[in-house]
Structure 1
Amino acid sequence: MSLAPIEIETAPNPTATVLLMHGLGADGNDFVPIANELDLKAVGAVRFVFPNAPVIPVTINGGYRMPAWYDIAAADLVKREDEPGLRRSQAAIEALIANEKQRGIPAHRIVIAGFSQGCAMALMTGLRHAERLAGIVGLSGYLPLAATTAIERHAANHETPIFLGHGTRDGVVQIERARASRDALVALGHAVEWHEYPMEHSVCMEEIADLNRFLLRVLAAA
């Protein structure tokens, strides 16, 4: 991580954590306003953790250095994937999960979430995590290293609920790519709650409302 994560607690002594990764070129502040729109009082105090991706050169942007969880070589997103970068960020996110557990939040009370590149990291890390998580959330993203998911995913999270939301007019991560990710996960037996919205590469209020209901459900059951 390039900077210490931003943290928000909805009340003292949180009993659950939502770890939310931003997209390419953004930072941990990006989703703070959306977290403030969520109402999770029914499941008790929640800690939101917004990590900051490292600043690295991004090939598709002419090598310009920006916050990124991994490099992107082509608009296709899955050709020439930056596997070393993906795995470095996976290890960093695993360290954040471990930190939450050290602070008293068990894995089954942790939701791992992300937008765009952050979505890719949430799916990659969540499916491979060795303890059952409360839920996995992917917004406007896709499944990275899809070919290795079947053999690398951990049995602990085979039945973890997954929320996927995507815009039908997304010009950054085409919805066909997201649908293919959804289909791959369903084919592996994962429980995917799928939502499409008439929006670009962004988040809308309808999606926030659907996400709120998902978080209440998975954290109530955890």
Structure 2
Amino acid sequence: MWQIVMTFEISLNSLRTSQGLSRDPKTPSYPAPLIIQPLLTRKQTLIILHGRGSTASKFSPPLLTTSSSSSGSTLQSSFPHAKVIFPTASLSRATIYKRSCTHQWFNNWHLEEYTKRQGMMVDGLRARENVVLWGLSQGCATALTALLTWDGPALGAVVGMCGYLPFGNVGERIGKGSKDQEPDPKKQAVTFLREELDMNVDAGETFLNIPVFLGHGAEDEKVSVNLGGEARRCLDLLGVEVEMIEYEGLGPWYSENMLRDIFQFLNTKLRSEKKS
């Protein structure tokens, strides 16, 4: 039976378009995703989202060709059974760019001030098409939101590179409440996020069964490593199995060492990899 690394309700419009089906007019228009077929029989699916301002065609080549520092293997050679899907975010107006259009999964303000204007993120994060399991920067933020709002079968893993958790400061504050509180502070924090996104607050706690890896450059000037640490603390308070590694000298991107650690993380967490 196929073991799915990363699967969820994502980019329904993109997939419909690629299959010649009509797009739901109520949801944003997404370009067709870039799909990389597995080298061997398919057993896994990796869905990876770019950061704001990028596209699948720009983001995918370096990620597919960069080798890990340990074995020298690439993403495909490390996971030859994986189908890799790179969606592209829809074009929308970005407040941070004086409302000029750019490819983004949701709108938000300067990250150093993001706690002041978090309400702008809600519409994009609410859409099922924006739910991902591996992402860079804003794609990571979307993946972590997906983690806490996912109500389907447990996914294989969530990977975030140089990202943050929207409303993470609020979630961390709520999650630190007394264990004697009713309802439980952890449930309050997840309920808060789901309410902000107009989602079902009674959904289960699938996220407790999904391991998370976060990698962040210590010299990241776009998304401060402090925001990555805030995400880790919030997830930890909520009971999520989360591992975070900071990379000295690394800016707002991934590195061979980060890919090495991601590959090792997935190899230890995915059942199909353990059997191979």
Distance 1:43 1:203, change over 3 A: closer
2:125 to 80, 86, 93: 86
Q: Kindly state the Cα deviation for residue 42 of structure 1 after the two structures are TM-superposed.
A: 6.9
Residue 73 of structure 1 and its aligned partner are, at CA, apart by 2.3
Contact 1:127–1:154 (8 Å) recurs in 2: no
Task: Kindly indicate whether residue 268 of structure 2 is the aligned counterpart of residue 217 of structure 1.
Answer: yes
Any conservation in 1 of the 2:35–2:84 contact (CA below 8 Å)? yes
RMSD: 2.2
Q: Which residue of 2 aligns with 1:143?
A: 165
The answer on whether the counterparts of 1:40 and 1:216 sit within 8 Å (CA) in structure 2 is no
| Alignment size in residue pairs | 204
- Which residue identity does 2:64 align to in structure 1? A
Determine if contact 1:43/1:220 at 8 Å carries over to the other structure: no
Counterpart for residue 174 of structure 1: 224
In structure 2, the gaps of 5 or more residues are 1-28, 68-73, 172-188, 195-202
Q: CA deviation at 1:32?
A: 3.5
SS of the residue corresponding to residue 270 of structure 2 reads helix
Separation (CA, whole Å) in 1 of partners of 2:102 and 2:78:
38
1:106 matched residue in structure 2? none
Query: What's the offset of the Cα at 1:50?
Result: 0.4
1:3 aligns with 2:34: no
- Measured at CA, do residues 39 and 59 of structure 1 come closer, stay the same or move farther in structure 2, by a change above 3 Å? closer
- Equivalent residue letter for 1:212: F
How far, CA to CA, are the matches of 1:85 and 1:39 in structure 2? 29
User: Which AA in structure 2 matches 1:47?
Assistant: K
The one-letter code of the counterpart of 2:258 is E
Higher strand share: 1
Post-superposition shift, 1:40? 6.0
Q: Match for residue 20 of structure 1?
A: 48
Return the alpha-carbon distance in structure 1 between the equivalents of residues 143 and 61 of structure 2. 17
Q: Taking every aligned residue pair, what percent have the same amino acid on both sides?
A: 27
The higher radius of gyration belongs to 2
Letter in 2 for 1:169: E
Residues 154 and 221 (structure 1), Cα distance of their counterparts in 2 relative to 1, 3 Å cut:
farther
1:196-220 deviation per Cα after TM superposition (whole angstroms, max 9, x unaligned): 0121101111001111111222223
**Which amino acid is the alignment partner of residue 241 of structure 2?**
A
- Kindly indicate whether the alpha-carbon contact (under 8 Å) linking 1:20 and 1:50 is maintained by their aligned counterparts in 2: yes
Q: What corresponds to 1:105 in structure 2?
A: none
Contact 1:134 1:218 survives alignment (8 Å): yes
Which ranges in structure 1 are unaligned for 5 or more consecutive residues? 98-111
TM-score by length of 2: 0.68
Flag the 1:118–1:64 CA change in 2: closer, same or farther, 3 A. same
2:184 aligned partner:
none
Q: Distance in 2 between matches of 1:219 and 1:32?
A: 24
Q: How does 1:54-203 map to 2 (within 5 A)?
A: 54-75=90-111, 76-81=113-118, 82-88=121-127, 91-94=128-131, 112-130=133-151, 131-146=153-168, 147=170, 150-151=190-191, 152=194, 154-198=204-248, 199-203=250-254
Equivalent-residue separation in structure 2 for 1:28 and 1:40 (angstroms):
16
Structure 2 distance, partners of 1:126, 1:40, is: 24
Structure 1 length-normalised TM: 0.83
CA contact (8 A) 1:163 1:214 kept: yes
